[in-house]
Amino acid sequence: MLDKDQYNQDEYNDYYKQEIRGAETSGIEEEEPSKKGKILAILSLIILAIAGYFGYSSMNNSTTDETLVVKKEIEKPAQTVQTVEEEPKKVEKSVVVAEKEVVKKPLESVQSVTEEKTTTSKDNKVAEVEKNREKAVGTNEKMSPEEIAKVVQMVMSKMNNKPKEVAINSTEKEESKSSVDTELMSELSKINTDSIDEENENKKLEDALNNIDDATKDSNIKNDNKTVDTYNKVKVSQNSSNNDELSKLSSQISNLISDKEIDSQGEKPKDEKIYTESLKGEVVTRKNEMRIIVVRKGDTLGKIAKRAYGNIMEYKKIYKANPDILKRPDRIYIGQKLRIPK
């Protein structure tokens, strides 16, 4: 009996394991990595924030005392700036390190350079701003523990998509040097070739912008066989063949109303004229706020995201904004009109 029970128990265990494995491979598999990624990202952000806070507060404390010591150390940051310009990926690192006031930490080789020029060029400038600030303020190694720096490095290696945010944070702290920043930003916009491409593209796409109503209609026509899409929009056609009373009423009304009458405002009181006019202004505003990009040969969502936002990882934003057109982020087709949210 015991043997049999034992056998049953083993069988049960085996079955149980199989079931767990099955669950792992079938259902949960798709969600797990993204969750892990999110958790990692959040954790790393928290660590960064804490490190940044300590670094920043310590910097504030030490500004007056250590100016003499600082003069000796100025040379080293200057060197890092030079290396920074040669190897763009290191720049991000130096930005973060600078923010944590661990400037003297030697720059190690980071993982392969995959990111675009846009962010790195921005980072160059940001890094320079940081160096300027250090010259004025002074570096401080005492207060920032090296452990935090190591953790930050590890985190950075896992955060390909985050360095831009960090850079932005560091620029935000530069409120006192806002004039410098604006100059840098104007330079950046000149340097950034992608943005120039974007402008040209925008000119080409003015027609698409003007016909944004048509564009949204097109996107619905593609889903003709499917009446309800993610937007929960149903397309109906107003034909004269519709015989129900409501359709008749609707067509009677629309026959009664000509577009000219809406526009003609001859006898209106002045404030109402202004009211209607200002409403029309909002229509134009709305058209300008939504940008439409037509997919060209060789485009991927990542490339479009890079052109639009300067960051490949922003492709999710575009993907989410076009649920009726894009079923999968890796399937886009030439001629598709994608909405690019600002």
What tokens does 275 get?
A: 């009211």
Alpha carbons 313 and 221: distance in angstroms, whole number: 29
Residues 202-231 touching other proteins, rule: CB under 8 A, are 213, 216-217, 220, 228, 230-231
CA nearest neighbour of 56 among 178, 170, 146: 170
Question: Shortest gap between Cβ of 285 and other proteins (angstroms)?
Answer: 8
Q: Are 289 and 300 in contact (CB under 8 A)?
A: no
User: How many Å separate Cα 63 from the centre of its chain?
Assistant: 35
User: How many Å separate Cα 175 from the centre of its chain?
Assistant: 23
Q: Are 93 and 155 in contact (CB under 8 A)?
A: no
Residue 47 contacts by C-beta under 8 Å, 6 or more apart in sequence?
Answer: 148, 151, 152, 155
CB nearer to other proteins: give 114 or 240: 240
Stretch that binds other proteins, among 22-30, 111-119, 131-139, 251-259 (CB under 8 A): 251-259
Alpha carbons 111 and 149: distance in angstroms, whole number: 17
With CB under 8 A as the contact rule, the residue among 3, 5, 172, 261 that binds other proteins is 261
The count of residues in the chain is 342
With CB under 8 A as the contact rule, the residue among 245, 327, 331, 333 that binds other proteins is 245
Residue 230 contacts by C-beta under 8 Å, 6 or more apart in sequence?
Answer: 323, 324
- Would you call 296 helix, strand, or coil by DSSP? coil
Alpha carbons 220 and 233: distance in angstroms, whole number: 8
With CB under 8 A as the contact rule, the residue among 5, 25, 259, 335 that binds other proteins is 259
71 makes contact with other proteins (CB under 8 A): no
- Would you call 327 helix, strand, or coil by DSSP? coil
Stretch that binds other proteins, among 20-28, 76-84, 254-262, 292-300 (CB under 8 A): 254-262
Alpha-carbon dihedral angle through residues 258, 263, 264, 268, given to the nearest 10 degrees: 120
Alpha carbons 24 and 29: distance in angstroms, whole number: 6
With CB under 8 A as the contact rule, the residue among 31, 199, 240, 328 that binds other proteins is 240
With CB under 8 A as the contact rule, the residue among 1, 2, 278, 328 that binds other proteins is 278
CB nearer to other proteins: give 20 or 249: 249
251 makes contact with other proteins (CB under 8 A): yes
With CB under 8 A as the contact rule, the residue among 8, 178, 238, 288 that binds other proteins is 238
What tokens does 154 get?
A: 């590890």
Residue 112 contacts by C-beta under 8 Å, 6 or more apart in sequence?
Answer: none
Question: Shortest gap between Cβ of 211 and other proteins (angstroms)?
Answer: 12
Stretch that binds other proteins, among 85-93, 94-102, 272-280, 295-303 (CB under 8 A): 272-280
290 makes contact with other proteins (CB under 8 A): yes
Question: Shortest gap between Cβ of 229 and other proteins (angstroms)?
Answer: 10
| Total number of residues that touch other proteins (CB under 8 A) | 51
253 makes contact with other proteins (CB under 8 A): yes
CB nearer to other proteins: give 157 or 258: 258
CB nearer to other proteins: give 14 or 213: 213
Residues 315-334 touching other proteins, rule: CB under 8 A, are 320-321
How far CA 93 is from CA of 109, 113, 280, in Å, comes to: 10, 12, 49
288 makes contact with other proteins (CB under 8 A): no
With CB under 8 A as the contact rule, the residue among 276, 288, 330, 334 that binds other proteins is 276
235 makes contact with other proteins (CB under 8 A): yes
Alpha carbons 294 and 315: distance in angstroms, whole number: 15
34 makes contact with other proteins (CB under 8 A): no
Binding interface with other proteins (CB under 8 A): 213, 216-217, 220, 228, 230-240, 242-247, 249-254, 256-257, 259, 261-262, 265, 267-268, 272, 274-276, 278-280, 282-283, 286, 290, 320-321, 339, 341
